[in-house]
């Protein structure tokens, strides 16, 4: 089966791990994140009519972009950026992280997950922020680790972007 390496990055506390926990097959415990700095999970999806195994590299969230271990990004076929919609700083930081990723591995398909969408009363993202995403040609969607909303779609969107319909892969 086709395999693809997906990196999940985002600031500390954006809920990356929670986001995927219910949707993946895990072998390693969460403590790998704090020890090794990465935890690898597995998720099978159908993308453009063929099964694809997504190997999800959940990178430990850091508050400082410089602390992100870029070694783990090597060879990634796609990136899932995770933003905490109730903390605007995580949104701003996402662009910094995105620059770092692009510098390290080049342009790869990516999806921005605007997480914690269930906390509408604390939501800090404005329509201006949507425009900013559109300007940067970032595809984004709302997700909630709590309700599970948008999670499947995020994986699906990313897998579809990575695996070309003709079978000619990126």
Task: Answer yes or no whether residue 16 interacts with another protein by CB under 8 A.
Answer: no
Q: Which of 18, 21, 23, 53 binds another protein (CB under 8 A)?
A: 53
Q: What is the side-by-side strand order in the sheet with 38-47?
A: 25-26, 38-47, 50-59, 2-10, 78-84, 110-115, 140-142
Please state the φ and ψ torsions of residue 70, each to the nearest 5 degrees.
-70, -15
Q: Which of 8, 19, 72, 113 binds another protein (CB under 8 A)?
A: 72
- CA proximity to 5, closest of 56, 59, 71: 56
Q: Can you read off the two tokens belonging to residue 8?
A: 């999940």
Q: Can you read off the two tokens belonging to residue 134?
A: 């559109």
Comparison of 124 and 156: residue with beta carbon closer to another protein: 156
Q: Which of 18, 40, 100, 138 binds another protein (CB under 8 A)?
A: 40
From residue 37, alpha-carbon distances to 61, 62, 84, 153 in Å are 9, 10, 20, 26
Select from 2-10, 84-92, 125-133, 142-150 the region that touches another protein (CB under 8 A): 2-10
Task: Answer yes or no whether residue 126 interacts with another protein by CB under 8 A.
Answer: no
- CA proximity to 22, closest of 132, 147, 130, 161: 147
Length of the chain (residues) = 170
Task: Answer yes or no whether residue 5 interacts with another protein by CB under 8 A.
Answer: yes
Comparison of 58 and 118: residue with beta carbon closer to another protein: 58
Q: Can you read off the two tokens belonging to residue 113?
A: 């997950």
Task: Answer yes or no whether residue 36 interacts with another protein by CB under 8 A.
Answer: yes
Name residues contacting another protein, limited to 76-115 (CB under 8 A).
76-77
Task: Answer yes or no whether residue 4 interacts with another protein by CB under 8 A.
Answer: yes
What's the closest the beta carbon of residue 3 comes to another protein, in angstroms?
Answer: 5
140: which strand partners? 112
SS3 105: helix
List contacts with another protein (CB under 8 A): 1-5, 25, 27-28, 32, 36-38, 40-42, 52-53, 55, 57, 69, 71-72, 74-77, 169-170
């Amino acid at each position: 089966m086709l395999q693809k390496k997906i990196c999940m990055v985002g600031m500390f506390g954006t809920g990356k791990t929670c986001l995927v926990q219910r949707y993946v097959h895990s072998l390693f415990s969460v403590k790998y994140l704090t020890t090794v700095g990465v935890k690898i999970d597995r998720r099978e999806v159908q993308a453009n009519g063929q099964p694809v195994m997504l190997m999800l590299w959940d990178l430990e969230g850091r508050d400082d972009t410089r602390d992100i271990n870029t070694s783990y990004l090597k060879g990634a076929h796609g990136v899932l950026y995770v933003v905490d919609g109730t903390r605007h700083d995580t949104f701003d930081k996402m662009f910094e992280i995105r620059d770092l990723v692009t510098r390290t591995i080049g342009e790869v398909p990516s999806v921005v997950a605007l997480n914690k969408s269930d906390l509408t009363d604390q939501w800090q993202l404005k329509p201006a922020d949507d425009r900013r995403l559109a300007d940067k040609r970032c595809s984004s969607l709302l997700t909630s680790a709590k309700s599970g909303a948008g999670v499947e779609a995020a994986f699906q969107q990313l897998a579809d972007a990575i695996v070309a319909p003709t079978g000619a892969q990126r």
